[in-house]
Amino acid sequence: MSTDPSKLAEFFRAKRDRELLGQLAIEAVPGHVAIIMDGNGRWASKRGLPRIAGHNAGVKAIRETIAAAIELDVRVLTLYSFSSENWNRPADEVTGLMRLFVEVLERETDTLDKLGVKVVIIGSPEGVPEATMAAFRRCEERTASNTTLTLAIALNYGGRAEIAHAARALARDVAAGRMSADDVDEAAITSRLFTTGIPDPDLVIRTSGEMRISNFLLWQIAYSELWITSVLWPDFSRHDLLRAVIEYQRRDRRYGGR
C-alpha cells in the first residue's frame, strides 16, 4: 500500500482525485471490496457496438481497479465476472466471454504475479469450457503464493447455488456420522461455501445504477455496506473506487447492534 501520502497523491493524480484524498482515512480502508461489474452491454449498445465489445472495454476497468485497490491497501477484491444465470444470454455472447477470459488471463497473468496478486476462483466449474477453466487454474497456480492482494473471481457463481452446495456437503457429513445435526451452525455453513477462507465483504459496489444484488454472495454480504453508482463498468475508474471507499468510511457500521 502507498501509506506515504505523496505516493497516493502520485497515483490519484487527477485534480478531482486529489480533492478526495484529503477525506481518506488510510487506517479505515475496507479490507474486502466486492464488485458487481454491470453495464458492459449497455455501454456497447450506446455506441452501436456488439455486446462483446463492452466486455472487452471492461477489461481496462478491471486492470485499473486492481491497481487502485493495491494502492489503497484493500486486501481482498472480489469481481462478479460470470453468474450462473449468464448462461441464458445469447450463445455468441457467452462463447465470446469464455474466449475473452482465456485471452485476458494469458495476457495478464505475468502482470498479476509481478503485482503480488493472488487469484482464486469461486463458483462451480460445471459447464465452463475446458480451455477457460484451464486458463483460470494456471493463473491460480502461478499466483498462489502472492500476498499483496487476493483477487477472487466469481465464475459460474450463484449465491443460492453456493448455499445449496454447502447444505449438501453438510448433509453428507451428517449422514456419514462425521458430525451431528446439532453441529450445523453458521460457522459450519461458512466453511463449506466457495468462499471459505475469504473474509466477508466490507463494501459491495454495483455499477450501472441497478438496485439489486443479482444472487451475489447472498450469505456473505449480510452486513456489508452497499454503494451503487450509475457509472457503467467500462467507465469505472480509480476515481470511482476512491469515491466508494470514502463513502464507506462515512457510514456507521452497526451490524444490527442498534
The residue assigned the cell 455453513 is 189
Indicate the burial class of 16 (C-beta count within 10 angstroms; 0-12, 13-18, 19 or more): exposed
Q: Which residues pair with 33 in a beta bridge?
A: 77, 203
Distance, in Å, from the CA atom of 74 to the CA atom of 148, rounded to the nearest integer, reads 9
- Among residues 87, 181, 173, 66, which one has the least CA distance to residue 132? 87
- Among residues 9, 133, 158, 154, which one has the least CA distance to residue 71? 9
200 is catalytic: no
Residues 47-65 as b/e (b if ≥16 CB within 10 A, e otherwise) read eeeebbbbbbbbbebbebb
As given in the structure block, the three cell numbers for residue 184 are 450445523
The residue assigned the cell 482465456 is 102
Separation of CA 68 from chain center: 14
Distance, in Å, from the CA atom of 186 to the CA atom of 223, rounded to the nearest integer, reads 14
86 is catalytic: yes
Catalytic residue among 4, 17, 38, 183: 38
CA atoms within 13 A of residue 94's CA, in its CB half-sphere: 14
List residues with catalytic annotation: 38, 86
